[in-house]
Structure 1
Amino acid sequence: MLEAALGLFAGASFFLPRLPGFFGEYLGLTGARLDGAEMLACGLATHYVPSAKLSLLEATLTCRVASSTSSSCDFDSTISTIIDEYSLKKSTLVKKCLSKPTMEEILSDLEEELAKANTREAGDHNEWLAATIQSLKKALPMSLKITLRLFREGQVQGIGECLFREYRISCRVKQGKISKDFREGCRATLSNMDKKPKWKPSKLELITDHMVEHYFSKLDGDDKEWKEFKFPTRSKFPVFANSKL
């Protein structure tokens, strides 16, 4: 689910930012699901062959393997070489656009790439760019800025630090002191389902660094009902001696 469409934010700030090529930022900001080419680009697959080429790949494999009398090592190499012939190569488009330091620059680069793509036959690139831009423009601007910062910092932080920050931001979102857009997002997406949320602030450029910083600030001190997350100590759990579990 696209959390930014609800006025929330994307979690998983420990492992998603560790995907290569800024695919973590792409998934967190857009809520997209990876297709074959994107799985290949972020290192989660070794090859990607478009559906239209599968029958040709099968025929080539059948023909060459049937006529092959080489050793097992060469046989494996032959298989890999054949698949490489029909496989798409990694795209650098996600890395190029999503590597920018701010949401404003990311969106600007995507729109610039789409304008360039429209002047030539770019095929899937046009469709991907248009869908990504549309998704970002529909999302809550505040959520996008929070998620981007969360992911960039999560690249160099441990899982404990990431969990602390995600809990803290969740509490700040529910408090609604800067914005009540979480309720508005739930209304537009889950309740009334009119898909027309009225975000406040409504644009990226209206959101200051100070506003974003509020969501990352500690909870202790400003409200007794909201406390910092604490991991339970091990002593609170029962210890089973000689347990076979």
Structure 2
Amino acid sequence: MLEILQELLRASEKAACIARACRQEETLFQLLIEEKKDGEKNKKFLTDFKTLADVLVQEVIRHDMGEKFPGLEKNIAGEESNTFTNELGEKVVVQICQTEEETGKLLQTILNNEAAAKALAKAAHEDVELSVPAVDNVILNIPYSKIGMWVDPIDSTYQYIKGFADTKTNNGIYSKGLQCVTVLIGVFLTDTGLPIMGVINQPFATRDKVTLRLKVFGRLQVIRQHLRMTNHTVKDGECLLTKAGCAGVITLNRPKALNALNLGMIRLIYPQLGLWEEDPETYLVIIKGVGGKAFCAGGDIRAVTDAGKAGDRLAQDFFREEYILNNAIGTYKKPYVALIDGITMGGGVGLSVHGHFRVASENTLFAMPETAIGLFPDVGGGYFLPRLPGKLGLYLALTGFRLKGSDVQKAGIATHFVESEKIPSLEQDLVAMKCPSKENVADVLDSYHNKSYAAQDKPFVLAEHLDKINSLFSASSVEAIIENLRCDGSSFALKQLQTLSTMSPTSLKITFRQLKEGSSMSLQEVLTMEYRLSQACMKGYDFYEGVRAVLIDKNQNAKWNPELLEEVTDDYIDSYFTSLGNSDLKL
């Protein structure tokens, strides 16, 4: 990835050279201007121009990056159309040919000026040597097959055409003139649209103090986000990504926050999984938490709540990127082992349950408690919960019932149970394997699981209630479940009635339909559905009220709206499941 950044710097400087070359002679420059057609005009201006310099810069970047990294050119798009109309009214597609001579001939069909065409072709094919030591230590662990680029070849075209160089600054900032002209290249992840880095080259940034003429070389800036965005960054050490033996190891390292998952952590984990998946020296991935209390207690709900209230896009980005990560785990090609040694709820379930192997311990505490805060069991809950035995998944989803220790494995949520004190030894055995297959990993996990005799002797905590769960929760609606519980009248049924009475009525109905539809959907379809639900909840009332009552004031006294199940209409629930059109989750 460092090679891509270095090549982008060279490409941007070549682009700047072309921009400067086109401005050096006014007669040459006038040949380059073509008024943009109606469909291309910027509606902010009465007249808008594109120049051959714009298009040539764009195509040089596309050509040079594609030549250095074959296939990448397909993922490079630009602001300008690369079609020009010459004096004869002929449409000419601008591109960089194999040789300087061929490019010159192509440009001549547009310019009808051999000298100008040759000069531009020479600039387009000329190698530019550029050294920027500041980027030599940049580490960007992202396969270039997963990135795309957007080019604004000459931003501030109007100032470029006017060509004023004698403008004054306002507190050191230029508001007009050639100093405002830039070559912009943005780099993003193709599957999420997440910007990861960019290059800004200012071809006319500085002037010679003696001659007062603009210097030949501009000022170059490199902007690097490394999967971080302002206000949503991951603090140092919150998520550790290391290589141990044959394994890539993800360590959630926010023990004071019970390893709660935030957007910055997601943006570190997701690309690293892609890198390890393509690395021939990495055979499996292990994910774990630190602190002794939690694997991951959930997502950073407080941050999402604040963002939703403020209209911040974090309320969109968090759910979208979390679900994309969940899907990556669910479709991972290499063995993925989650050591869920502690609290595992919400976002922590999404980090574990879709992987090949989930190892519970006596410390594990599993729950999907979202109906208590006006949400729903997301992160793919609509996929894995209805696939648990009988109506167990629906029961867990509606009531938020907590499973502990070996019961997490007996319920089918974890694949193995290992005593907490043996998990470090298990991890050592896993990373020490030589070129292990999925079957080899399973054998090691099975051997540890089979030695956990104490857990095998304990009956499942819900064993005596499974028949009632299967019968009472087998109904066509939430109202029918409530009626079944009332008619049954047993202590178990009455306890469930009490629990459900405290939950958001809207959440109960959303969850019921989510699991019903999710039972016949693929994981990708479920996550798309759940993203729609998440955004509807962000626009609703109950989520914010639930977070207030449970997490902020902690009085457990939420005032839901609608307050009663019968007030939650089918049309209202339908609105939660409505497509978001172009804003739908794309997997």
Matches within 5 A, 1:108-187: 108-113=483-488, 115=489, 117=490, 126=491, 128-176=492-540, 180-187=541-548
TM-fit CA distance, 1:173: 0.6
Would the alpha carbon gap of residues 155 and 105 (structure 1) be closer, same or farther in structure 2, given more than 3 Å must change? same
TM-fit CA distance, 1:220: 2.5
- Out of 25, 28, 37, the residue aligned to residue 394 of structure 2 is 25
Which is further off, 88-97 or 203-212? 88-97
Distance 2:408 2:566 in 1: 32
Distance 2:566 2:397 in 1: 20
TM-fit CA distance, 1:87: 6.5
The one-letter code sitting in structure 2 at the alignment partner of 1:25 is: L
Given that 1:142 and 1:204 are in contact with CA atoms closer than 8 Å, whether structure 2 keeps it comes out as yes
TM-fit CA distance, 1:130: 2.9
Distance 1:164 1:200 in 2: 26
- Out of 570, 573, 580, the residue aligned to residue 209 of structure 1 is 570
Distance 1:131 1:199 in 2: 21
2:554 is matched with: 193
1:97 is matched with: 472
Distance 1:17 1:217 in 2: 21
TM-fit CA distance, 1:36: 9.3
Given that 1:13 and 1:154 are in contact with CA atoms closer than 8 Å, whether structure 2 keeps it comes out as yes
TM-fit CA distance, 1:26: 0.2
- 2:463 equivalent to 1:107: no
What secondary structure sits across from 1:13 in the alignment? Answer: helix
Given that 1:21 and 1:41 are in contact with CA atoms closer than 8 Å, whether structure 2 keeps it comes out as no
Matches within 5 A, 1:31-70: 31-34=400-403
Given that 1:21 and 1:92 are in contact with CA atoms closer than 8 Å, whether structure 2 keeps it comes out as no
Would the alpha carbon gap of residues 14 and 44 (structure 1) be closer, same or farther in structure 2, given more than 3 Å must change? closer
Distance 1:98 1:202 in 2: 22
Which is further off, 36-45 or 93-102? 36-45
Would the alpha carbon gap of residues 133 and 36 (structure 1) be closer, same or farther in structure 2, given more than 3 Å must change? farther
What secondary structure sits across from 1:100 in the alignment? Answer: coil
TM-fit CA distance, 1:94: 0.3
Distance 2:397 2:487 in 1: 21
Given that 1:141 and 1:203 are in contact with CA atoms closer than 8 Å, whether structure 2 keeps it comes out as yes
Would the alpha carbon gap of residues 215 and 35 (structure 1) be closer, same or farther in structure 2, given more than 3 Å must change? same
TM-fit CA distance, 1:131: 2.6
TM-fit CA distance, 1:5: 1.0
Task: Give the TM-score normalised by structure 2.
Answer: 0.28
What secondary structure sits across from 2:391 in the alignment? Answer: helix
Given that 1:165 and 1:216 are in contact with CA atoms closer than 8 Å, whether structure 2 keeps it comes out as yes
What secondary structure sits across from 1:172 in the alignment? Answer: helix
Would the alpha carbon gap of residues 92 and 37 (structure 1) be closer, same or farther in structure 2, given more than 3 Å must change? farther
Distance 2:571 2:376 in 1: 17
Which is further off, 30-39 or 158-167? 30-39
Distance 2:472 2:570 in 1: 21
- Among the aligned pairs, what percent are the same residue? 37
Distance 2:388 2:374 in 1: 24
Would the alpha carbon gap of residues 169 and 36 (structure 1) be closer, same or farther in structure 2, given more than 3 Å must change? same
Would the alpha carbon gap of residues 211 and 111 (structure 1) be closer, same or farther in structure 2, given more than 3 Å must change? same
Would the alpha carbon gap of residues 210 and 43 (structure 1) be closer, same or farther in structure 2, given more than 3 Å must change? same
Would the alpha carbon gap of residues 35 and 192 (structure 1) be closer, same or farther in structure 2, given more than 3 Å must change? closer
Would the alpha carbon gap of residues 98 and 39 (structure 1) be closer, same or farther in structure 2, given more than 3 Å must change? farther
Would the alpha carbon gap of residues 214 and 41 (structure 1) be closer, same or farther in structure 2, given more than 3 Å must change? same
Greater relative CO (CA pairs within 8 A, separation 6+):
1
Superposition RMSD on alpha carbons, in Å?
2.7
What secondary structure sits across from 2:555 in the alignment? Answer: coil
1:6 is matched with: 373
The one-letter code sitting in structure 2 at the alignment partner of 1:140 is: S
The one-letter code sitting in structure 1 at the alignment partner of 2:396 is: L
Would the alpha carbon gap of residues 40 and 92 (structure 1) be closer, same or farther in structure 2, given more than 3 Å must change? farther
Would the alpha carbon gap of residues 87 and 170 (structure 1) be closer, same or farther in structure 2, given more than 3 Å must change? closer
Specify every segment of 5 or more residues in structure 1 that has no aligned partner in the other structure, as ranges.
46-82, 118-125, 222-226, 232-245
Would the alpha carbon gap of residues 37 and 134 (structure 1) be closer, same or farther in structure 2, given more than 3 Å must change? farther
TM-fit CA distance, 1:2: 1.4
The one-letter code sitting in structure 2 at the alignment partner of 1:16 is: L
Q: Write the deviation string for residues 122-166 of structure 1: whole angstroms up to 9, x where unpaired.
A: xxxx2x323321111000000000000000111111100001011
Distance 1:129 1:35 in 2: 21
Distance 2:493 2:556 in 1: 21
TM-fit CA distance, 1:100: 0.3
More helix by share: 1
Given that 1:21 and 1:42 are in contact with CA atoms closer than 8 Å, whether structure 2 keeps it comes out as no
Would the alpha carbon gap of residues 105 and 133 (structure 1) be closer, same or farther in structure 2, given more than 3 Å must change? same
More strand by share: 2
Distance 1:43 1:14 in 2: 13
